[in-house]
Amino acid sequence: MKKLSIFLFLFFFLIGGVKAEELAPNVKSAILLETSTGKVLYEKNADEKLAPASMTKIMSMLLIMEAIDHHQISFDDEVIISNQASSMGGSQIFLQTGEKYKVSELLKGIAVASGNDAVVAMAEKVSGSVSAFVDAMNQKAKALGLQNTHFDNPHGLESENHYTTARDMAIMAQELLKHEKILEYTSIYEDYLKKPDGSSVWLVNTNRLVRFYEGVDGLKTGFTNQAGYCITTTAKRNSMRLLSVVMNAETSDLRSKDTVNMLNYGFNTYKLDILLSKDKEVGEAAIEKGEQKSVQLYVENDVTILSKVTDVKTNYDFHLVVDTLKAPIQNQEVVGKLEVMDQEGNIVKAVDVMVKKEIKKATLWTLFNRLFSGITSGIPL
């Protein structure tokens, strides 16, 4: 009878039979969401302020990726390791003062091995000093609307005024995932860092789920005595990407167990339909006084609908809301909305539409020729 009970538990667990309220019994705080819609699928004490430990590095990596995108630094730039960086305690990749590494190597050391020395070196590279980098972290948190987050450092070692929430951490992680290249680093399970003297440091991902759970390709673990065991995890199967955060577990096994529960629940219970891809043309709009009279429009991101796997498939209609545009228009500029409506005519979501080319203002000569051609051809301008 006992064997039968265990079998039934595993059967219902695998098909998604675990109740939502039982998903994360071993952690103090948790959240699960689908990234393209931002829909929260499960939460537990998601707004409780807690120490994030090395999950702090999600914000640090976000600032590093933004600095690369803005051409402040590049992946191939060299970083000279300072005394402050090399003297960091906790998790590290054993950097020595005066050594030189590429940004890409240090980013790998942060993403895979959670190197405190590596993140301090990168903070100095990006902002000139650790304190300036921490200021930038808090400014970014404010810009993202995170009211329950404050950072004292870029690595997550214990500090009285260093805290966040599961919900805020999920928002940070979503922002980091906009920089898809970061997944090339966070998905590495093991690799080597070659040191200037020819020796190597073995890097093993602190996120074991990268190897042992299908679809996991990030993001960041954390542990201190104050924070307990924490992890922010993302996994993609088919077209659906889930993001989970668990905070303050007693052991790493319990941290992983609740994460797996949440991901299994999400993948077994929900499905994601892509109604339109971001490369799909959705219409065109007229342009006043532009080098061209009209321009094709595209959705800024994939248009997706999240539903339960048991829901009956629904058809949707689209309504483009764009006023006449006026030149000049920048490449990638958002110029209107695309409304997605169900069969009853209800708007279920609205997404941005944009142009994919720069439209310059027409010269006076072009406008004159256009006017003259319209008059001689007898067609309206």
Q: How far apart are CA 106 and CA 100, in angstroms?
A: 10
Per-residue burial over 290-320, b if 16 or more Cβ lie within 10 Å, else e, is: beeeebebbbeebbbbbeeeeeeeeebeeee
Closest C-alpha to 85, from 120, 61, 136, 45: 120
The residues with which 272 forms a beta bridge, in sequence order, are 306
Is the four-CA dihedral 240, 228, 62, 351 of positive or negative sign? positive
Residue corresponding to tokens 């020595």: 96
110 conformational bin, left if phi > 0, alpha if psi -120 to 50, beta if neither? alpha
What torsion, rounded to 10 degrees, do the Cα atoms 167, 171, 176, 177 define? 90
**Do 232 and 174 touch, CB atoms closer than 8 A?**
no
Q: For residue 170, count other CB atoms closer than 10 A to its CB.
A: 25
- DSSP per position, 41-110: EEEESTT--B--GGGGHHHHHHHHHHHHHTTSS-TT-EEEPPHHHHT--SS-----TT-EEEHHHHHHHH
Q: How far apart are CA 193 and CA 183, in angstroms?
A: 18
Catalytic residue annotation? 54, 57, 114
- DSSP per position, 200-263: EEEEE-S-THHHHSTTEEEEEEEEETTTEEEEEEEEEETTEEEEEEEEEESSHHHHHHHHHHHH
